[in-house]
Chain A
Amino acid sequence: MKDEKSLFLNIVTLLILSFMAFYIYKVSIDTGSGIKITDNITPKMRVADKYLKKNVLDEKSTYAFGQTAEDTSANIVTSVVVDYRLFDTTLEVIVLFVTILGFGFVIPKDKRSIKKPSVILYRWAPILMVLMLIIGGYMFINGHLSPGGGFPAGAIISTSILIGVLSGRKTVKSKTLKVIEAIAGISIFIIGIVSFFIKGNFFQNFIVGDRIGDLFSGGLIPVFYGLIAFKVAAELSNIYFEFYEEC
């Protein structure tokens, strides 16, 4: 604890940080030629322009609400996340898988005790759990129409399992969670491979022809978000069970 208050360390760190801040300030007031980091650049000059106009494949094409387009998700952030840059999202799923696996691997198996829940929590837990499940389901089904999507939906669904853990009710077995996680994870990649055999490209959206704004639109986006939601929910619930099982 003595090192933490060391004056020398603090002064050196402050000097380094002030040098960095000074350098960033100097870059920002630089008057050289070329594009500067302080320039006002609108999305029109970036690749985002084509995502907004939905004309990556055909330069001239335009679209209207309620009509079909190359990507029929009404939420454009979702169409970037789960369609144009889908491969990033699948890797992100793997990042969560690896870290939760590492969490379960390195955490020591100590004795922990959980306090017995009160009667109010025990009685009200099922009602709260059903509400949480409904909200989570709504989130991933409407991920292509409104803000939300698979990851927040998975987090919300896992909180319902957390309430179950806190109130001392047995909801799901830890083994079942592992099966759900693996099946959902494998299905994401299997769909990618299936689209390779159908269309010739990995992770291509092969359900086309639906209309912007419908509940069943966006092609494979709701399918992917559903799988991601179940996988994230199973993984986050695994963390709670890591603590719960040893008590």
Chain B
Amino acid sequence: MTKVFILSSLSLVFVGLYGVLTRKNIVKILIALNIIETGINMLLVAFGYIEGGLTPILQSDLSIANLDKMVDPVPQALVLTSIVIGLGTTAFALALAIRYKNTHNSNLITATDEEG
């Protein structure tokens, strides 16, 4: 099961990287960045997963007896943080993209020097 998670998250990462490297449209690049980020988050959660793991929430004395079967809580905490960072990046970059459209009259990233 863990292998399926890791393979699917790696394929998401590669699809996103392909998008970031080849697209010129800013909105498409940002969508691709979000795809990579989803892939990496899934990868982190898959690293902490164990076969037949339980949720790390204590409900009664029974769950305290089964502490060894619980999945790793640390990657989930890291993912919680990285989701918020992804939200921030997307919001900021979209606002910049609106201003870019106003100043350049296009939403394509150009390679020529004079265009900036």
Contact = CB atoms under 8 A, between A and B. Distances in A.
Nearest to A47: B74
Contact of B77 (A14, A80, A110): A80
Nearest to A43: B72
Interface of B is mostly: helix
B92 A102 contact: yes
B105 interface: no
Nearest to B17: A17
A120 B61 CA distance: 50
19 contacts: A16-B21, A43-B72, A47-B74, A51-B73, A65-B59, A65-B63, A76-B57, A79-B73, A80-B76, A88-B77, A88-B81, A92-B84, A98-B88, A99-B87, A99-B92, A100-B88, A106-B96, A107-B99, A151-B80
Nearest to A52: B67
Interface string A65-95: 1000000001111011100010011001001
B64 A75 contact: no
Contact of B57 (A64, A99, A102, A147): A147
Interface stretch (A2-10, A129-137, A182-190): A2-10
A48 B88 contact: no
A204 interface: no
Interface of B: 10, 14, 17-18, 21-25, 48, 50, 56-61, 63-64, 67-68, 70-74, 76-77, 80-81, 84-85, 87-89, 91-92, 95-96, 98-99, 102, 108, 111
With most chain A CB atoms within 10 A of its CB, the pick from B14, B25, B73 is B73
| Interface bin, chain A | 35 or more
B17 to A, nearest CB: 6
A79 B58 CA distance: 11
A4 B84 contact: no
A212 interface: yes
Contact of A53 (B67, B91, B102): B67
A24 interface: yes
Given A47-B74, A65-B64, A88-B81, A107 B98 contact: yes
Contact of B14 (A10, A21, A74): A21
B82 to A, nearest CB: 9
A159 B73 CA distance: 29
A150 B18 CA distance: 35
Contact of B24 (A1, A42, A77, A85): A1
